[in-house]
Amino acid sequence: MSRATKRKHVQKEMLTADWNGPVDDQRIVRIIAGRGNNLHEVFSIEDNETFLVSMPAKFRRNVWVKRNDYVVIEPIAEGDKVRGEIVHVLTKEDIKLMKQKGWGQEDNNSNIEPNTNRPIVTTISDLSSTDTDTDHDDPSEDTDYSS
């Protein structure tokens, strides 16, 4: 099967699948961060813990997940660090359906660490609003932000 045909089938499966919730030992978890090599760090609401899950080969380069996306995983027996495999990526409609059923009420984003890959930028308006002391005589303290 060519790559284009495979992508078409995977995307069709993801978009048209009637998903009614996790079955058996499946769990819904939230992606916290990508760790590379198709590994993702996730947070389980039920267990209140974080662990790694793997992205199966059929989803690689076909389905994209990012921070705060919800996925359905199945636990795997082998391995200490990687404890599950992604079986379904939840769409916005799936999440809306689950929240109507009462799922995720205890979920809050307080467990998500801020993204440290992006620098914190202070804008000129932030600088000018905090500098209220304009009564100084030292011209070296004046800063010209126009250039």
pLDDT (tens digit, 9 = 90+) per residue, 72-122? 999 998 878 899 999 988 888 888 888 888 876 655 555 555 556 666 666
CATH assignment of the domain containing 62: 2.40.50.140
Query: Is residue 124 in some structural domain?
Result: no
Number of domains the chain contains: 1
Total count of residues recorded for the chain: 147
User: By the 8 A CB rule, do 71 and 42 touch?
Assistant: yes
| Res 71: pLDDT | 92
Query: For residue 125, is it within any domain?
Result: no
Report yes or no on 23 lying in a domain. Answer: yes
CA distance 21 to 90: 10
Residue ranges making up the domain that contains 78: 3-111
Confidence of residue 31 (pLDDT cuts 50, 70, 90): very high
Interacting residues of 64 by C-beta distance below 8 A, sequence separation 6+: none
Contacts of 42 (CB under 8 A, 6+ apart): 29, 30, 31, 32, 50, 51, 52, 53, 71, 73, 84
Res. 67 pLDDT band, cuts 50 70 90:
very high
| 85 vs 80: CA distance, rounded Å | 13
Q: For residue 132, tell me if it sits in a domain.
A: no
Q: Is residue 117 part of a domain?
A: no
Comparison of pLDDT for 23 and 31, the residue scoring more:
31
Instruction: Give the CA distances from residue 122 to residues 118, 126, 131, in Å, rounded to whole numbers and listed in that order.
Output: 13, 6, 13
Rounded alpha-carbon distances, angstroms, from residue 99 to 31, 127, 143, 144: 17, 42, 51, 52
6 vs 115: which has the higher pLDDT = 6
Q: What percent of the chain has pLDDT over 70?
A: 60
